[in-house]
Amino acid sequence: MHEMSIAMAVVGQVEEAAGPGGVRAVESVRLQVGELAGVVPDALRFCFELVCAGTVLDGAELSFDPVPGRARCEPCAREWDTGMPPHLCCPECDGAAAELVSGRELRITEVRWAPEPQPESQPEPQPQPAVDRE
């Protein structure tokens, strides 16, 4: 269950990005998770909720962008889906010279900070709510 450690790392990185005195709430966090990253999204979501409690991320939504495993054999100029468990020998030459093109990602790609609190005195009252979600 290293999803707990990963959730803690995500929260730590977002808190760091919020900066000192960064008391703004976080609406959502988007993660890129490679097929070969060894992370179970459901388990991570569960841990994320627990870890967020009492932090600036309390209540934040976690979403995932899965990234398929892809490998490329440079000598053959062949690229393929690795699948899971991954096939990492080149299907063309059966060689061991391949490189991963994608699949090991575990990155925070995007954070949505909650709206800033509105200043006390607005010069003109806004007809529309100031919160723009999309």
Partner 1 sequence: MCRVEDLQRAVLAKNDRGAEALRTELAARGTVIVNLLSSPGSGKTALLEAELTLARRRGVPVAAITADLATENDATRLARSGVPVKQVLTDGLCHLEADMLRSHVEGWLPDDTRLLFVENVGNLVCPASYDLGESLRVALASVTEGEDKPLKYPSAFGLAQLVIVTKTDIAEAVEFDEAAFLGNVRQVNPGVEVIRTSARTGEGTGGLLERAMAVQAGAAVHRPVMARQAVAHGHSHSHSH
Q: How far is the CB of 19 from partner 1 (least distance, A)?
A: 11
Angstrom distance (rounded) from CA 14 to CA 12: 6
Instruction: Decide if residue 114 touches partner 1 (CB under 8 A).
Output: yes
Instruction: Decide if residue 12 touches partner 1 (CB under 8 A).
Output: yes
Q: Which is nearer to partner 1, 36 or 52 (CB)?
A: 36
Cα atoms in the 13 Å half-sphere on the side-chain side of 39: 26
Which residues lie below 8 Å from residue 1, measured CB to CB, with a gap of 6+?
43, 47
For partner 1, the binding residues in 42-61 under the rule CB under 8 A are none
DSSP secondary structure code for residue 128 in this structure: S
Q: Which is nearer to partner 1, 55 or 102 (CB)?
A: 102
Angstrom distance (rounded) from CA 17 to CA 76: 42
Q: What are the residues binding partner 1 (CB under 8 A)?
A: 1-2, 5-6, 9-10, 12-14, 17, 27, 30-32, 36-39, 71-72, 74, 84-89, 95-96, 98-102, 104, 106-116, 130-134
